[in-house]
């Protein structure tokens, strides 16, 4: 038998992980693609499972042709044996192996009790991101969901939580969420965007470089019009109302400083609020490997390498920027990993096209980021009795008390004094809120494990017979 090909473990089967796997496999590397979902695609290409028999899943998607290409290419590689796709594998830790390489620890299946380990020469992190939501009174009521959550349930389960929805917050995700829900028969009472869309006009260069994105925006605008969705720019949701379930929200206009304009509050009846304030990168695995973090994202070089030898990162984990950027980064990461692992000459010209689209997409999202910031004075709307940490039910009052009376000056001290961030989600939901209320920068939380692990699995994880 010929010398065994080098082995790359790719974690995450969204656009970045798929592009990376295909590029690496095409250039002489054996790939194991490890993903928590039952099917490849990530959040962007989340689809209903086969049992639901969707004949036109593309009705809830765009860039479907790209997905079909990825899907066909993956199937061909799996068939040829150059990519092994491990679905339903929930990775909780990646550690360097002795003497070389890495061990990926995962939990199998929905119950997540049975351990699986994968050994590889190198790893590529394509772990994506999740939605950031800042708190407001009533945000824990059933019926209030993240914008991405409403979309995930719609794309994956073909279900909606109610009949009349308000979509609110800030960021480009709100557009597909509002239009998707409207297409699925939900009345979208309003799209409440805290940013001022006119601010884009002050960023002509980044916009002109992405005509496709402009066209996408125009298409969404037309769909909103067609579904009679009222667009409320420079507005925010200040409270959600209801006893056991959401029955209305109060929206208000914002002034140019990001403060609620007194007297502009009005109540909008609705049974669902889909709300989001941007995205955060999943960086836990990179952190536990000791990769350098830049702000809240994994730092990478031109080749998408982290500063830990043998560890690449691509897609939203290196910075939020959408599916096209993830594809470009994944492609470059896969090519780079393949060249480095097979010892072939590295030729960046081979991925010049991907590098160009990466640069343009990054510039575009940098411009978006400056426009889609949450209202500067959002904490003024958070009453003392508003629950901030949803898991541990810690209120904003308790956080403020920890800062004002007990002298906490950072998120970690607030956590130790209040338990905010100490629950099931390990602070993923409340971190931006706690940082904001404490008046400090959000810094990366150091989480040793990327997801809950049964103690029995942890106890056996060091056992050499575990493979």
Q: In whole angstroms, how close is the CB of 388 to another protein at the nearest point?
A: 13
- d(CA 311, CA 334) in angstroms, rounded, equals 11
Residue 145, interface with another protein (CB under 8 A)? yes
- d(CA 142, CA 159) in angstroms, rounded, equals 15
Beginning with the edge strand found earlier in the chain, give each strand of the sheet holding 266-269 in spatial order.
235-242, 246-253, 266-269
Residue 415, interface with another protein (CB under 8 A)? no
Out of 60, 120, 283, 286, the residue judged to bind another protein by CB under 8 A:
60
Residue 152, interface with another protein (CB under 8 A)? yes
Out of 81, 99, 185, 407, the residue judged to bind another protein by CB under 8 A:
185
Cα 199 vs. chain centroid, distance in angstroms? Answer: 25
Binding flags for another protein, 382-411, as an x/- string (CB under 8 A): --------xxxx------------------
Report the relative pairing of strands 387-389 and 297-298 from DSSP bridges.
unpaired
Crossing angle between the packed helical segments 396-404 and 411-418, to the nearest 10 degrees:
110
Residue 199, interface with another protein (CB under 8 A)? no
Other beta carbons within 10 Å of 452: 12
Nearest to 254 by CA among 368, 373, 98: 373
Candidate ranges 47-55, 70-78, 114-122, 254-262; the one touching another protein (CB under 8 A) = 47-55
Candidate ranges 16-24, 141-149, 289-297, 304-312; the one touching another protein (CB under 8 A) = 141-149
Coil, strand, or helix at residue 222? helix
CA distance between the termini of the chain: 23
Residue 49, interface with another protein (CB under 8 A)? yes
**Token couple for 397:** 């009052």
Q: In whole angstroms, how close is the CB of 359 to another protein at the nearest point?
A: 29
Q: In whole angstroms, how close is the CB of 417 to another protein at the nearest point?
A: 17
**Burial of 383 (C-beta count, 10 Å sphere; 0-12/13-18/19+):** middle
Residue 169, interface with another protein (CB under 8 A)? no
Other beta carbons within 10 Å of 443: 14
Residue 148, interface with another protein (CB under 8 A)? yes
Residue 130, interface with another protein (CB under 8 A)? yes
Residue 285, interface with another protein (CB under 8 A)? no
> Could you list the residues that contact another protein (CB under 8 A)?
36, 38, 43, 48-57, 59-60, 110-111, 130-131, 140-146, 148-154, 156-162, 183-185, 244-245, 390-393, 423-425, 428-429
């Amino acid at each position: 038998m010929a010398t065994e090909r080098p082995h790359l473990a790719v974690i995450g089967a969204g656009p970045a992980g798929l592009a990376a796997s295909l590029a690496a496999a095409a250039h002489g590397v054996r790939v194991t693609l490890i993903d928590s979902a039952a099917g490849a695609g990530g959040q962007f290409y989340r689809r209903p499972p086969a049992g639901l028999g969707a004949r036109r899943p593309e009705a809830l998607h765009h860039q479907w042709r790209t997905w079909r290409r990825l899907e066909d290419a993956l199937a061909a590689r799996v068939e040829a044996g150059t990519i092994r796709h491990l679905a339903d594998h929930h990775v909780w830790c990646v550690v360097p192996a002795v003497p070389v390489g890495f061990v990926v620890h995962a939990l199998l299946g929905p119950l997540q009790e049975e351990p699986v380990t994968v050994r590889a020469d190198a790893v590529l992190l394509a772990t994506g991101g999740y939605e950031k939501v800042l708190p407001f009174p009533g945000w824990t009521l059933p019926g209030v969901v993240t914008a991405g959550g409403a979309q995930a349930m719609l794309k994956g389960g073909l279900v909606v939580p109610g009949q009349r929805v308000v979509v609110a917050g800030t960021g480009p995700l709100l557009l597909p969420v509002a239009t998707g829900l409207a297409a699925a028969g939900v009345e979208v009472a309003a799209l409440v965007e805290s940013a001022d869309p006119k601010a884009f006009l002050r960023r002509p260069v980044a916009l002109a470089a992405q005509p496709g994105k402009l066209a996408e925006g125009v298409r969404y605008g037309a769909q909103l019009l067609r579904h009679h969705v009222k667009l409320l720019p420079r507005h925010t949701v200040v409270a959600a109302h209801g006893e056991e379930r959401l029955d209305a929200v109060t929206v208000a206009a914002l002034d140019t400083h990001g403060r609620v304009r007194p007297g502009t509050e009005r109540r909008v009846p609705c049974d669902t609020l889909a709300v989001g304030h941007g995205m955060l990168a999943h960086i836990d695995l990179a952190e536990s490997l000791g990769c350098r973090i830049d702000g809240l994202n994994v730092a990478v070089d031109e080749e998408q390498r982290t500063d830990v030898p043998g560890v690449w990162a691509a897609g939203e984990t290196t910075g939020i920027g959408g599916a096209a950027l993830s594809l470009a980064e994944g492609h470059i990461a896969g090519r780079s990993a393949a060249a480095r692992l097979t010892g072939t000459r590295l030729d960046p010209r081979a991925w010049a096209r991907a590098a160009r689209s990466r640069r343009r997409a990054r510039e575009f999202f940098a411009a978006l980021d400056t426009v889609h910031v949450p209202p500067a004075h959002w904490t003024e709307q958070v009453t003392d009795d508003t629950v901030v940490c949803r898991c541990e039910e810690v209120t904003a009052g308790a956080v403020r008390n920890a800062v004002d009376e007990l002298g906490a000056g950072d998120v970690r001290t607030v956590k130790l004094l209040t338990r905010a961030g100490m629950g099931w989600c390990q602070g993923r939901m409340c971190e931006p809120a706690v940082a904001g209320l404490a008046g400090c920068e959000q810094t990366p939380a150091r989480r040793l494990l990327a997801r809950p692990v049964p103690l029995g699995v942890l106890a056996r994880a060091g056992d050499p017979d575990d493979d």
